[in-house]
Chains A and B, each alone.
Chain A
């Protein structure tokens, strides 16, 4: 089942989106992307960030490192530097160690995902190659009636063989 190609990246004018559905979808995606960029900035550069965003439905989303409340208090107090003490530094060290671990896990999963995606593409390519040589590998929708009946028959035969073979294997497994 091939994935339907999406519209891809399109240039968009920066003015309020006229259609409500489109606006809601855009908000959802871009808000998520914004938080992702903020999170990366915190990780890469070790800085403190706070973001508050109100949705079209007037719900509020917020992102904060180390915490939204800390950033708000610090900002309102016009405090140039965050409170600093031995205790604070210890907490910060713990927090950073924990974040390092989490980022490590995330990186790993993303790498696995990327590898599987590449494998998927390779498998698609192999399928396309063999479809050029073997008509019966074409999508079902493209086959004619007798081709289908032919193929269906062969598949039934194969299924019987498979079931037989499974029984054989299970029997030998039980006996050994």
Chain B
């Protein structure tokens, strides 16, 4: 079965056009038959062609006459309400495609601005951006910021203990959290791991956020009031570092 992209235009080549006609007419009849059977509805299809005098008809001449009769029995309004010709149909398709395009453009823009945001977070400058870009960036920061707040609230609800809790209490909390079944075990485990690590190493927790993640890619982060506000990564970053210790 060839899957070439076909241009939506009259096929000039006679042989190609005839071959396409045969195939697609057959496919069309199959589709109308399936529709009728699957949904238990009445239908008919009539196809004229320059290749034969009589039209090709589904389900049969008699079946088509019956469908036409039922059609004509309906009011003018019912008939024309969902009636369409080529012009109308193609216009509908254009409208639909334009809506999808608008949606896709918006999604892509969001993804782009997200990228800009993450790059800015690691120190890439804001210079090249237009005011429009900056506004969108601000919007994205607000939106993500809100999501973070929500998530923090949720996590704090199911892990009400303070961050400086001793390991012993942590164990108890961990099991009670599991009992609740409310907390996301993964993120709480991360939280507990970090706090436990801190408690064990006897250092302020924010100094040593060496968190192995994704193939042991360890990075250290600064706390806002102690170190530069932007988190800085390990020595081989994809983008240039703003602050390098």
Q: Residue B84 at the A interface, CB < 8 A?
A: yes
Q: Residue B35 at the A interface, CB < 8 A?
A: yes
Task: List A contacts of B32 (CB < 8 A).
Answer: 34, 51, 53
Q: Whole-angstrom distance from the CB of A4 to the nearest CB of chain B?
A: 14
Task: List B contacts of A42 (CB < 8 A).
Answer: 86
Bound CA–CA A150/B131 (angstroms): 27
The verdict on A144 contacting B134 (CB below 8 Å), with A14-B34, A75-B64, A80-B53 known, is no
Establish whether residues A60 and B78, one from each chain, have CB atoms under 8 Å apart when the complex forms.
yes
Task: List A contacts of B215 (CB < 8 A).
Answer: 132
Bound CA–CA A33/B104 (angstroms): 22
Q: Residue B155 at the A interface, CB < 8 A?
A: yes
Establish whether residues A127 and B111, one from each chain, have CB atoms under 8 Å apart when the complex forms.
yes
Chain A residues 128-176 with CB under 8 Å of chain B are 130, 132-137, 140-159, 161-163, 165-166, 169-170, 173
Given contacts A60-B71, A68-B85, A145-B187, 19 further A-B contacts (CB under 8 A): A15-B38, A37-B24, A41-B21, A43-B86, A45-B20, A51-B44, A51-B46, A53-B43, A62-B83, A64-B83, A100-B9, A112-B101, A123-B112, A124-B111, A140-B144, A146-B209, A153-B229, A155-B145, A155-B148
Question: B residues engaging A (CB < 8 A)?
Answer: 6-11, 17, 20-21, 24-25, 27-28, 31-32, 34-35, 37-50, 53-55, 57, 64-65, 67-68, 70-72, 74, 78-79, 81-87, 89-91, 93-94, 97-98, 100-101, 104-105, 107-108, 111-112, 114-115, 117-118, 120-122, 126, 129, 131, 134-135, 137-138, 141-142, 144-145, 147-149, 151-152, 155-156, 159, 163, 184, 186-188, 190-191, 194, 205-206, 209, 211, 213-215, 217, 219, 221, 223-224, 229-231, 233, 237-238
Establish whether residues A106 and B48, one from each chain, have CB atoms under 8 Å apart when the complex forms.
no
Task: List A contacts of B188 (CB < 8 A).
Answer: 144-145
Task: List A contacts of B42 (CB < 8 A).
Answer: 54
Establish whether residues B45 and A49, one from each chain, have CB atoms under 8 Å apart when the complex forms.
yes
Establish whether residues A109 and B184, one from each chain, have CB atoms under 8 Å apart when the complex forms.
no
Question: A residues engaging B (CB < 8 A)?
Answer: 1, 12, 14-17, 23, 26-27, 30-31, 33-56, 59-68, 71-72, 74-76, 80-82, 95, 98-100, 102-103, 105-107, 109-110, 112-113, 116-117, 119-120, 123-124, 126-127, 130, 132-137, 140-159, 161-163, 165-166, 169-170, 173
Give the top 4 A-B pairs by smallest Cβ distance, nearest first. A144-B190, A123-B111, A48-B48, A157-B229
Task: List A contacts of B82 (CB < 8 A).
Answer: 59-62
Establish whether residues B45 and A50, one from each chain, have CB atoms under 8 Å apart when the complex forms.
yes
Task: List B contacts of A162 (CB < 8 A).
Answer: 120, 126, 134, 137-138, 141
Bound CA–CA A127/B221 (angstroms): 21
Instruction: State the majority secondary structure of interface residues on B.
Output: helix
Establish whether residues B64 and A106, one from each chain, have CB atoms under 8 Å apart when the complex forms.
no
Establish whether residues B108 and A30, one from each chain, have CB atoms under 8 Å apart when the complex forms.
no
Task: List B contacts of A68 (CB < 8 A).
Answer: 83, 85
Task: List B contacts of A120 (CB < 8 A).
Answer: 104, 107-108, 111
Establish whether residues A159 and B68, one from each chain, have CB atoms under 8 Å apart when the complex forms.
no
Task: List A contacts of B101 (CB < 8 A).
Answer: 109, 112-113, 116
Q: Which residue of A lies closest to B150 (CB)?
A: A140
Q: Can you name 12 A-B residue pairings with CB atoms under 8 Å?
A: A26-B38, A30-B39, A37-B24, A43-B10, A47-B47, A60-B82, A64-B84, A80-B54, A109-B94, A137-B118, A155-B148, A165-B134
